Amino acid sequence: MSESATEILLLSGPNLNLLGAREPEIYGTETLENHVETAKNAAARHGLSLHHEQSNHEGELIEFIHQATGKSAAIVINAGALTHTSWAIHDALKSFSGPVIEVHLSNPGAREEFRHLSVIAPVADGTISGFGNLGYELAIEAVASLLGRS
Ligand code: CA2
């Protein structure tokens, strides 16, 4: 990554494109577009830009992570249910040299047992969970701080 990179890559995993339409009692009524807008506005306050990609395919998410090297200063990721299973995303994130922040709308630790394990957490600088839309803003604040831009 060039020292001057100011772009944050926001990655959204499987089913997050359905937000707003189903399960509002767990994930709220806001759409993924709303969360991206929140993150973009927070990034702009720190002179950072934000590029968003959503995919329902594990391999595609891995390609986006590979492409971030040399281009993005940091990655914010909500990997959806792949959070709990994808060692391939774990490995891809491990090879990215900038800050990585894991974000979740809900608090997986307070939900079903299978959501208690995150295989992303060991390769993230930190995790923000349970705050819905606010979590996206907090994740960008964390990135700005880690990049020395707060
Ligand atoms: O809380 C989060 O942000 C999650 O990453 C959301 C994932 C879930 O599998 C994780 O355990 C926690 C689910 C993605 C959204 O799934 C939807 C399914 C139906 C309707 C709307 C969203």
Q: Residue 94 has what pLDDT? A: 98
Q: Residue 4 has what pLDDT? A: 67
Alpha helices in 2-96 (DSSP H): 24-27, 32-45, 58-68, 87-94
Residue stretches of the chain with pLDDT short of 50: 2
Q: Whose CA is nearest to atom 17 of ligand 1?
A: 15
Q: Is 129 helix (H, G, I), strand (E, B) or coil?
A: strand
pLDDT in tens, 65-85: 999 999 999 999 999 999 999
CA distance 102 to 80: 10
Q: Which atom of ligand 1 is nearest to the CA of 78?
A: 5
The response to whether residue 33 sits with its C-beta less than 6 Å from ligand 1 reads no
Indicate the domain borders of the chain.
Answer: 3-146
The one catalytic residue in 90, 104, 116, 136 is 104
The response to whether residue 78 sits with its C-beta less than 6 Å from ligand 1 reads yes
pTM > 0.95:
yes
Q: Residue 22 has what pLDDT? A: 79
Do residues 75 and 98 touch, judged by C-beta distance below 8 A? Answer: yes
Q: Which residue has the tokens 């990721």?
A: 77
CA distance 146 to 150: 8
Please provide the CATH number assigned to the domain covering 3-146.
3.40.50.9100
Report how far ligand 1's centroid is from the alpha carbon of 95 (Å).
25
CA distance 69 to 108: 29
Pocket perturbation via mutation, ligand 1, pick of 27, 89, 114, 115 by most ligand atoms within 8 A of CB: 27
The yes-or-no answer on residue 136 being catalytic is: no
Q: Residue 1 has what pLDDT? A: 53
The response to whether residue 23 sits with its C-beta less than 6 Å from ligand 1 reads yes
